Amino acid sequence: MMSSIQTINYVIKGLYRDSVQLMEVSDRVKRLPGVVDAVVVMGTQANKESLKPLMLLTTEGEQAGPNDLVIALKAKGNVDEILEQVKKILFETKIVATSYSSIDEALKSHPDIKFASISIPGKYVGDAAFKLIENGINLFVFSDHVPVETEVKLKKYAAAKDLLVMGPEAGTAIVSGVGFGFANNVAKGAVGVVASAGSGIQELITLLDSYGIGISHAIGVGARDLTRDVGGIMTQKALQILNEDENTQLITLLAKQSDISVVKQILETEKISKPLLVCLLGHSQPVSNYPQASTLHGLALKVASYLSKAKLQEVMDSLMHEVGRLRGLVVKGDG
């Protein structure tokens, strides 16, 4: 007799794990014997909504708060035993080179540190971030649910000290070849990227890499930076930094779900001496005198064209070769 499939939610109150950790945990849980489907998430409203179409949300999960962890399972067999294995995965202690009990302790051991990554519940980000900025440290803030007023204060404080706050909700950044978050392994080069979309950074730099074009830095400013609430504080600072960076010859600005008036104001007021290419995803109307694209592929081709006509021709030849190859596969498949 086959075991019936059960859908259960197990909620652990007050346990925080960031989304990178939870993606890894979810992947491992899905491979456990008896598990049909599994998602392990924080109990935010958005995450709970995402469980509904998967038929993975129960009453217990619905009652979870944003600081609670939800184990959502479809499983057969001994569910209690499966849950114990999941909890064991969650609470595994990973060996790291060094751990510290406080920011002060870490700074004392590493007084020359220039960058820090923050991945804690959003409501706690402010205190940690202000202390790090005070000590002259640039930030990559992976955390979400950071109050917008906290984001504005942090970015104003950092900008006044010529520091970066990448994020909140920053998914990707690359600084001098060092990756933060979901960074791709791409070639170094002369193109600097400023973007309000981490996935946009990933696709753009991957396209450029496939064209043989490398990047100097890719600065993710966070999804809200180019909204009216934040006003593009960190976009302005990132453009200034790349404009002064000796390894950057060409700058690209990538904006997604942004307030066009904010983008326009920045482009009108910032004095950028280097070539600047702009991509407003889904927005074809020009907002400035700078060359503009509405798609990532369009932006990548503009970059190639700006670097040299020979590079553009090389890219176009490569694209046509790929189109021909794909057509051949389609014809072969139909045959």
Q: Tell me: the pLDDT tens digits for 274-330?
A: 999 999 998 889 899 999 999 999 999 999 998 876 677 777 777 676 667 777 676
The domain spanning residue 272 has which CATH number? 3.40.50.261
For residue 74, what are its two tokens? 């479809």
DSSP state of 293: E
Sheet containing strand 188-195, edge to edge, reads 178-181, 172-175, 215-220, 188-195, 250-255, 276-280, 292-293
Distance CA(7)–CA(100), nearest Å, equals 39
pLDDT in tens, 163-198: 999 999 888 999 999 999 889 999 999 999 999 999
> What value, to the nearest 5°, has the Cα angle with vertex 132 and ends 128 and 133?
115
Look at residues 90, 108, 133 and tell me which one is the last residue of a structural domain. 90
What domain range includes position 263? 170-318
Residues 75, 84 contacting (CB under 8 angstroms): no
Q: Left (φ > 0), alpha (ψ -120 to 50) or beta: where does 189 sit?
A: beta
Mean pLDDT for all residues in the chain:
91
Together in a domain, 176 and 307: yes
Tell me whether residue 107 is in a domain: no
pLDDT band at 273 (very low <50, low <70, confident <90, very high): very high
Instruction: Assess whether pLDDT exceeds 80 at residue 226.
Output: yes
Instruction: Assess whether pLDDT exceeds 60 at residue 30.
Output: yes
pLDDT of residue 97: 65
Instruction: Assess whether pLDDT exceeds 50 at residue 157.
Output: yes
Look at residues 61, 90, 119 and tell me which one is the last residue of a structural domain. 90
